[in-house]
Structure 1
Amino acid sequence: MTSGPPRVLVDATSVPADRGGVGRYVDGLLGALGKVIGSEVELAVVGLRTDAERYTRMLPAAEVVAAPAAVAHRPARLAWEQTGLPLLAQQVGADVLHSPFYTCPLRAGCPVTVTVHDATFFTEPEHYDKSRRTFFRSAIKTSLRRAHRVIVPSKATRDELIRLLDADPTRVDVAYHGVDPTAFHPPTADEKARVAARLGLAGTSYVAFLGAKEPRKNVPSLIRGWVKAVHDRPNPPALVIAGGQGHDDDIDRAVAEVPGHLRLLRPGYLRYADLPGFLGGALVAAYPSFGEGFGLPILEAMACAVPVLTTPRLSLPEVGGDAVAYTSEDPAQIAVDLAALLDDEPRRMALAKAGVDRAKEFTWESSAEVHIAAWQRARA
């Protein structure tokens, strides 16, 4: 058995420009790994050209390589992953190659570990278009077959892979995501006021959603539930649906049904620095998802001291525990549970405090420890 820390090449070329969920994961993991380079791991990172300089500043002790410019386009990235990435792993002397987003080279020349973020392509197939569903189902099956170890962000995801795809439980490692306390924290009054002013909500309360607008997130049901919950209130809180554009056509239909006296905002992406003020300034952060592999948005909301309303589907109870309120995916029940929270300030305050305390249990340092242990096993 080889001694000393494993030398690992992390393929960060799948990180999107908007730094959504996979970007948060890769950045959080690399940041934690940067603190133990040399003692527990030797690190090389390949990223898009736009990220290479950033990773160089972030990880001065790591070897950072810029991928070919064409890799910014997904078909080219997938082709390069099969040919250029194994060659790069050889060039940097990698003991292990880590692929953080479902896919991996079929012949890497060294042990491979892959992160499979969720199994909802199998458990919730109706919420994906056919091409996306087909691609990721194939990628997950291939990674389970080819990778030396598979890393997942929750026990629920591990259990679903075992149940549905007969994954070998001895080769699956659970590494919970973390939350960056400098990026997500209870906001100051100034942070809240700045975001409210930017959104045109100064002096107006609101319910927040932050995430991708894809069918699995159940945004149309949230909109319809919010309408029912606040329709007859004298000062109804607005609903702010923030995050990137998605492919859920029912959102537009739900928006068209909103009565004229209610305010619904769709500001798109918010600046990263504004997220604590946005989340922490809300009365409630609502996230009635049909199922998540982890549920990073609810963890980030908890860290920002906002009461969270979510569903008890798949991994979400692992993250939220008793520190969040639960509802169903149905608009009528969302309305009942959202209204109950809006009317119960003591409960909202208690959930906000419990969420902050629970969020502290999820650290990128703990996640990095599990990854390093998986890489050591893969190398062995």
Structure 2
Amino acid sequence: MSLSVLVDATSIPPNRGGVARYIAGLLQGLDEADVSVSVVVKRGDRSWLSGVAPGHRYVDAPRLVRARPVRLAWEQLGLPLLARRLGVAVLHCPHYTFPLGAARRSVVTLHDATFFSDPAAHSRLKRVFFRTWITLARRWTRATVTPSQATADEIHRYVPSAIPNAVAPLGVDRSVFHPATDDAMADFRRAHGLSPDDRWIAFLGTVEPRKSVPALIDAHAALTASVKGTPPLLVAGGLGWDESAVHILRAAGDVPGAGLRYLGYLPLDQLSAFLGGSELVVYPSTGEGFGLPVLEAMASGGAVLTTRRLALPEVAGDAAAYSEPDAESLHHGMKALLADDERRRSLVLNGLERSAGFTWRACAEAHQVVYS
């Protein structure tokens, strides 16, 4: 079945993280449901995205949209013209912004409410930019999409609206996130100078203030000082704008044998080994629109320690342990779990079972409700 929908995939970032995972997963889910749409994409992303989800009609965006200011300008002027040329009825804009002149034909994904509920976690420019576009989307568009009920509720609290909203929980790609094979674990260990007996605690995510990485580093340092044999903390992901954590992690680098190591971005095919091979995956966020790293950790066989903030318990349910995002609580939470093998095994089994309920096909089906 073909839908009269144009998905704007030009917001995919160069590292193909974040919104790229969402767009690719959504298109995969539509493929699984035998539903095709039109997709406008930057030339450098076309072969990758069409390889992941081949059942759609891909159209190249102008080359200049690689620059963000040009992309935003093209979204306002060029995207509606392209939609008209293709004869589509609905525009899906998957990352907050949309063409104001085609608002009533636009479905817009709003990933996060913390620009309102936790403004200190963002720079002033980001707060103003995203608050403005969320407000416009909830007042002018055909419909919006949020990845969790918690995000939908928070946005409605700050921007009440009668415009329809679809709650479409994200999925997990089981070709990537699954318990790692022995070969995959061996490859990961070799790539990072780890011996077969080495253990670690994992953090995966952008190092930004709401991820509480400084508190996690402090908690781990205290645990290392008080409990002999505490596994090192391995941090993976992009260095964002949490200056204190970025300074510490840059100093730590990637030194085998160190108590704290920053691994940087990991290739996608290393993530299941990194997450599932850890003793613990700790994700002490103060607020998430969804919390995809928690879902991916559970699907990989990781025992997760996270917080009860916003959407995280909606994702993890009883398949995670919980802590406050401060150093003292994280210290106690990690210490208790590291001392309790049975509890960690229970979390792993519960996490594998719970993560199986989050599929990209279900996510795609929720989108179809507001496409029609």
Cross-structure match for 1:321? 317
State the alpha-carbon separation in 2 of the partners of residues 127 and 363 from structure 1: 29
> 1:222 deviation in Å?
0.9
Give the aligned partner of residue 129 of structure 1.
123
Q: 1:320 to 1:19 in 2, by over 3 A?
A: same
Report the Cα offset of residue 218 of structure 1. 1.1
Sort the Cα spacing of 1:128 and 1:358 in 2 relative to 1 into closer, same or farther, 3 A. Answer: same
Deviation for aligned residue 1:42: 4.0
CA deviations 1:121-173 (Å, max 9, x no partner) are 011100111111111111111111121100000000010011111133x6111
Shift of 1:334: 0.4
Any residues of structure 2 matched to 1:74-153 within 5 Å, and which? 74-108=68-102, 111-153=105-147
Render the CA deviation track for 1:187-245: whole Å, top value 9, x for unaligned: 12222222122112223211001111111111111111111122233322110110112
Partner of 2:365: 369
Contact 2:2 2:37 in 1 (8 A): no
What CA distance in whole angstroms lies between the structure 1 residues aligned with 2:18 and 2:159?
24
- Unaligned stretches of 5+ residues in structure 2: none
Contact 2:250 2:262 (C-alpha < 8 Å) held by counterparts: no
RMSD, aligned α-carbons: 1.9
Aligned position for 2:32: 35
| 1:307 alignment counterpart | 303
Give the structure 2 partner of residue 11 of structure 1.
Answer: 8
Distance change in 2, residues 1:276/1:256 (3 Å): closer
For 2:219 and 2:247, the matched residues in 1 are separated by 14
Q: What secondary structure, in the 3-state scheme, does the structure 2 residue paired with 1:246 have?
A: coil
Q: TM-score, normalised by structure 2?
A: 0.95
1:110-259 matched pairs, under 5 angstroms: 111-168=105-162, 171-202=164-195, 203-252=197-246, 254=248
Aligned residue for 1:34, secondary structure, equals: helix
The answer to whether the 8 Å contact 1:86/1:105 transfers is yes
Q: Secondary structure at the match of 2:5?
A: strand
Distance 1:284 1:45 in 2: 38
CA distance in 2, matches of 1:229, 1:275: 25
**Aligned counterpart for 2:40 among listed residues 39, 43, 46:** 46
The Cα shift of 1:5 comes to 5.4
Point out where structure 1 has 5 or more consecutive residues left out of the alignment.
none
**Structure 1: how far apart are the matches of 2:251 and 2:55?**
54
**CA 1:111–1:274 in 2, change beyond 3 Å: closer, same or farther?**
same
- Secondary structure in structure 2 of the residue aligned to 1:6: strand
Q: Are the counterparts in 2 of residues 119 and 161 from structure 1 also a CA contact under 8 Å?
A: yes
Shift of 1:353: 0.7
- Could you say if the C-alpha distance between residues 329 and 67 of structure 1 is closer, same or farther in structure 2, counting changes exceeding 3 Å? same
Match of 1:350 in 2: 346
Q: Which moved more, 1:268-277 or 1:189-198?
A: 189-198
2: CA distance, partners of 1:120 / 1:274: 30
Please state whether the residue corresponding to 1:297 is helix, strand or coil: helix
Q: Deviations over 1:301-351 (max 9, x none)?
A: 000011000000000000000000000011111000111011101100110
Q: Is the contact made by 1:12 and 1:48 (CA closer than 8 Å) also made in structure 2?
A: yes
